[in-house]
Structure 1
Amino acid sequence: MQSVYLSEPDSGNPISALRYGDCPLADPPDGWTTVRVQAAAANRHDLFALSGVGPAIGHLPIILGSDAAGVDEDGRAVLVYPVVEDENGTSLLSERHQGTFAEYVNVPRDNLIPIPSGISTAEAACLPTAWLTAYSMLFTRAGVGASDTVLVQGAGGGLSTALIMLAAAAGARVWVTGTSADKKAFATVLGADAVFDPGARLPEQVGYVMDSVGAATWNHSINCLQPGGTMVVSGATSGFEAMVDILWVFAKQISILGSSLGSRVELTDLIGFCLRHGICPPIHESFPLSEAGVAFQTMQNGTATGKLLLVPGR
């Protein structure tokens, strides 16, 4: 079957480590089933693997991709929950098990979620990593609700898109930082109430900050919090090491919470939330598997507004 896989990482030029070609599909183990992939979403998790960061490096060669929607063996339209729990612990698809950038993927039967009417297969494929992480950050970890003010660090990517749309739908006031006029305009279209330059002084401090940028925004995020505020961290695209002025942490009694993905139940709840509020995840562009390099170059350049999809068979 045609697949996009990693056989040897390249920290200097991660995208050059992408390989496209024929990979065999193993028989699914007991309790697993095979899904015909119709759409798979690209994530920065894949870029990290290509650069040699993450558990996948111990299981090469491996097919990349953790998000997918498609058709199961019974002909049902299904969404794949990407977290696998087995005797070796917890991992994402494409870390210890072959991933979703292929014509078919084997997954545990319990990881399949029927796709209800009202959401397309392509839109569903956007949800399992970026959108589920955003949902968990906002509602499970932080408990954001109507009338709260939320600052989202960064605009344009899949996670920030989800954070803006979900928080706005919940009735929160949403402020966003963005590096370009296009990204700021896109954030406004999504529902942001105000947009600011990175590091800008805000009109007032906020109750919640959602940060996946890391080192570049860390101190700004802390400074923007009101006393008793909460910062939720789910990534570090600009770097993992940041200096922290500890005085502000205890003097303002702020909470710093880590967040990573979410549960299968949360993914089901996320689907219901999107349907109730009429939310359709924006898709920047769809590519055939053979053009995975173009998709990831777009991600690396930071020019995408919404999710990037790989579509087998195109």
Structure 2
Amino acid sequence: MFAVYASEPNPADPLAALVVGERPEPEIPAGWVPVRTRAASLNMHDLWTLRGVGLKPDQYPMILGGDATGTLPDGTEVVVYPVIGDPAWSGDETLDPRRTLLTEKHQGAFADVVIVPERNVVPVPAGVSTQAASVLGTAWLTAYRMLFTKSGLRPGQTMLVQGAAGGVSTALVQLGAAAGIRVWVTGRTEEKRSLAERLGAHATFEPGARLPGKVDAVFESVGEATWAHSMRSVRPGGAVICCGATSGAAPSADLQRLFFLQIRVEGSTMGTRQELIDLLAFVADTGISPEIGLELPMEKAADGFRAMLDGEVAGKIVFTR
């Protein structure tokens, strides 16, 4: 079958390990289902797989792609929930110590067919397009959990998103605005700040800028480059919700400010299957159209990977079949 895969780990030149070609048809274990891929979206996790992060050399070749929409054999259109858990685990899937994501242990979704456990497919509600649904499983699910499960924000309060153009950031802007929260955003360029305003941000600022006031919660995925500004920007008793550190680990936790102002700092990773169901319903009910910066046929996946590696695209990159 057709597939986009990593042939080997290549930390120095990840795109050299990317192959667009053929892989064997998958076997379908009991309790698993085949999903014929219609659209799939690219994540930084796919670049890490090309670099060899989190995988052993003997796990390659590895088909890439954790986020996808497709059809079951009976024609039902579904979203793939990319967290593959221990069948014996119950409760919050993100806390399962044996959980993996697609492409960490199991072959991914950039292919004609991806196989997943039966519980890892969720029907696409009416009103949500195939392409839009394909971006929700990782970046948007991460943003949804940060905002609605972790932060405790209410309509009318103020949030700060550090970084304007990435998949999680654009999702936070759109979700926050749709929920009636005042959204402030930092962005490195005028173009990225303008994008955030187009997506619903009420105000945008240069990185590190003094804000008009303190915010109720800050959403962090940048780390070292923005952490000090995040800690200065949140009100006493507010929250900093962190899902990543793309610029590196924070150099200082700023513990004096943390305890004296009683700031809550909380980590957040991905989301549960139920949160994905709730996210799909929220997108359908509000009419949100997720920001897709680039859409390509899967045969041209290399162009999408190159655009992500070079930082050329704001929003999500989607491949279609």
Same fold? TM cut 0.5: yes
Aligned to 1:65: 65
Counterpart-to-counterpart distance in 2, 1:57 and 1:71: 32
1:113 pairs with 2:115: no
Aligned to 2:92: none
Counterpart-to-counterpart distance in 2, 1:241 and 1:14: 26
- What's the TM-score, normalizing by structure 2? 0.93
Deviations for 1:140-185, whole angstroms, at most 9, x for unmatched residues? 0112220111000001121111100101111111000011111111
The one-letter code matched in structure 2 to 1:153 is Q
> Which shifted more, 1-10 or 97-106?
1-10
1:39 pairs with 2:39: yes
Counterpart-to-counterpart distance in 2, 1:118 and 1:154: 29
Give the number of aligned pairs.
Answer: 312
Deviations for 1:14-48, whole angstroms, at most 9, x for unmatched residues? 22221221111221111001010000000011112
Given candidates 186, 189, 192, the residue that maps to 2:201 is 192
Is the 1:144–1:167 Cα contact (8 Å) retained in structure 2? no
Counterpart-to-counterpart distance in 1, 2:141 and 2:196: 19
- What's the TM-score, normalizing by structure 1? 0.95
Q: Offset at 1:241?
A: 4.8
SS in 1 for 2:279: helix
SS in 2 for 1:35: strand
Given candidates 255, 258, 275, the residue that maps to 1:246 is 255
SS in 1 for 2:171: helix
Is the 1:56–1:96 Cα contact (8 Å) retained in structure 2? no
- Structure 1 segments, 4+ long, off by >6 Å, are none
Aligned to 1:205: 214
Q: Offset at 1:57?
A: 5.5
Is the 2:227–2:250 Cα contact (8 Å) retained in structure 1? no
Aligned to 1:176: 185
Long gaps (5+) in structure 2: 88-96
Counterpart-to-counterpart distance in 2, 1:308 and 1:218: 27
Aligned to 1:5: 5
Q: Offset at 1:56?
A: 6.5
Counterpart-to-counterpart distance in 2, 1:234 and 1:59: 27
Aligned to 1:29: 29
Counterpart-to-counterpart distance in 2, 1:138 and 1:258: 12
Long gaps (5+) in structure 1: none
**Structure 1 pair 2/242, CA: closer, same or farther in 2 (3 Å)?**
farther
The one-letter code matched in structure 2 to 1:102 is A
Counterpart-to-counterpart distance in 2, 1:192 and 1:252: 27
**Structure 1 pair 4/240, CA: closer, same or farther in 2 (3 Å)?**
farther
SS in 1 for 2:289: coil
Aligned to 1:128: 137
Given candidates 144, 156, 163, the residue that maps to 2:153 is 144
Aligned to 2:81: 81
Counterpart-to-counterpart distance in 2, 1:283 and 1:147: 27
SS in 2 for 1:89: coil
Counterpart-to-counterpart distance in 2, 1:185 and 1:38: 31
> Which shifted more, 281-290 or 227-236?
281-290
Q: Percent identity?
A: 48
Aligned to 1:93: 102
Counterpart-to-counterpart distance in 1, 2:271 and 2:56: 20
Counterpart-to-counterpart distance in 2, 1:38 and 1:82: 16
Superposition RMSD in Å: 1.5
Counterpart-to-counterpart distance in 2, 1:172 and 1:4: 39
Counterpart-to-counterpart distance in 2, 1:232 and 1:126: 21
> Residues 239-278 of structure 1: matches in 2 within 5 Å?
239-278=248-287
The one-letter code matched in structure 2 to 1:236 is A
SS in 2 for 1:105: strand
Counterpart-to-counterpart distance in 2, 1:35 and 1:56: 26
Counterpart-to-counterpart distance in 2, 1:74 and 1:56: 36
> Which shifted more, 131-140 or 242-251?
242-251
Q: Offset at 1:108?
A: 0.8
